[in-house]
Structure 1
Amino acid sequence: IFIKVPVTPAGLRAIKVLKKEGYHITATAIYTVIQGLLAIEAGADYLAPYYNRMENLNIDSNSVIRQLALAIDRQNSPSKILAASFKNVAQVNNALAAGAHAVTAGADVFESAFAMPSIQKAVDDFSDDWFVIQNSRSI
């Protein structure tokens, strides 16, 4: 179980107290590198930068994630980046490419990854080839 705590001055104090008490923490509402760095320093297990919300504010989401990933590596921190707030698969791909360790997104975002007609065509082609070779649609 992870407790979600927004990265604010009060939230950072809460993260430190909760970590001392043995709780697992996801630092949320991250929009800036400095928020993430402070959450790492406070001991957050996961950092949750809000990808789409940053984009809506003209903040370079990929740069924020990349800088946080570099800081985690440099400091040998156990913190991980759990990117959140996605509206499409491209954003998920970009967050992972920028260095996010994991993502959280709605089922609709992941379902849209398979909505390409070319995917179904490839499946149909394989099925047709199997039928020609085996004279059967099942294995």
Structure 2
Amino acid sequence: MKIFLDTANIEDIREGMKLGLVDGVTTNPTLVSREGVKFEDRVVEICETVKGPVSAEVTSTDYENMVLQARELASLNEHVVVKIPMTRDGMRAVKTLYGEGIKTNVTLIFNSLQATLAAKAGATYVSPFVGRLDDIASNGMEIVEEIVRIFANYGYSTEIIVASVRHPMHVLEAALMGADIVTIPYEVLLKLFNHPLTDIGIERFMDDWKRYQKQQGK
């Protein structure tokens, strides 16, 4: 399973890259607005840092302008993947962009039928938003499981990005279901390392080592 960071913070991305575990990034104008930089400049900076898929979102909602904006975003860097919303105009845009060789990530997916339509339109990725479904008392991960089964049934090459991830259990469930990718905030990535028994084990090892050194007169 690949791990993307869901952020526009370049320092978090650099730290994630140092771990050797980050395969790509998803971002959007909202995340970039918190950084106080120009959207296009930050997208290019992220692409140059990650050198992997970087999803950048259109802000238009009609077909013609989505396609125009997608072309502009794709021209920024070879690693740009254009995020397109799950709408009728969005799927028209995905079909057109697929024909032009522009990679797309269909976002704001909340059921498996939406994901299926996106795959049929030629989306490179689909992003079910599991956390937002959990927020309204639905089980977001059940949608992911359905999408995995449907894509396997029909041999779709579209990859599944589990998005709106809130905690490590979402990541674990995504891995168990066979999702291709999770996109997570940097703080969730750090939580994946943690287990109290690991901390206890390291502490005991260091205590034993100190005792051994003392016994050896070091």
TM category, shorter: 0.7 to 0.9
- Of 103, 114, 131, which residue of structure 1 is paired with 2:182? 103
In structure 2, what is the Cα distance between the partners aligned to 1:15 and 1:126?
54
Task: Give the match's secondary structure for 2:138.
Answer: coil
In structure 2, what is the Cα distance between the partners aligned to 1:17 and 1:7?
15
Paired residues in the alignment total: 135
In structure 2, what is the Cα distance between the partners aligned to 1:129 and 1:44?
55
Alignment match, 2:96:
17
> What is the CA-CA distance between 1:86 and the residue it aligns to?
1.3
RMSD after superposition: 1.8
Alignment of 1:36-51 (within 5 A): 36-51=115-130
> What is the CA-CA distance between 1:131 and the residue it aligns to?
4.8
Structure 1 alignment gaps of length 5 or more: none
**Cα contact 1:46–1:79 (8 A) shared by 2:** yes
In structure 1, what is the Cα distance between the partners aligned to 2:155 and 2:209?
50
**Cα contact 1:47–1:79 (8 A) shared by 2:** yes
Structure 2 alignment gaps of length 5 or more: 1-79
Alignment match, 2:83:
4
Alignment match, 1:53:
132
In structure 1, what is the Cα distance between the partners aligned to 2:188 and 2:200?
21
Say yes or no: does 1:35 pair with 2:114: yes
- Of 191, 195, 200, which residue of structure 2 is paired with 1:112? 191
Amino acid at match of 2:186: A
> What is the CA-CA distance between 1:81 and the residue it aligns to?
0.5
Amino acid at match of 1:68: I
In structure 2, what is the Cα distance between the partners aligned to 1:17 and 1:32?
23
- Of 120, 143, 148, which residue of structure 2 is paired with 1:64? 143
Alignment match, 2:203:
124
Percent identity among equivalent residues?
27
Alignment match, 2:154:
75
Q: Which moved more, 1:43-52 or 1:121-130?
A: 121-130
**Cα contact 1:63–1:98 (8 A) shared by 2:** no
Alignment match, 2:35:
none
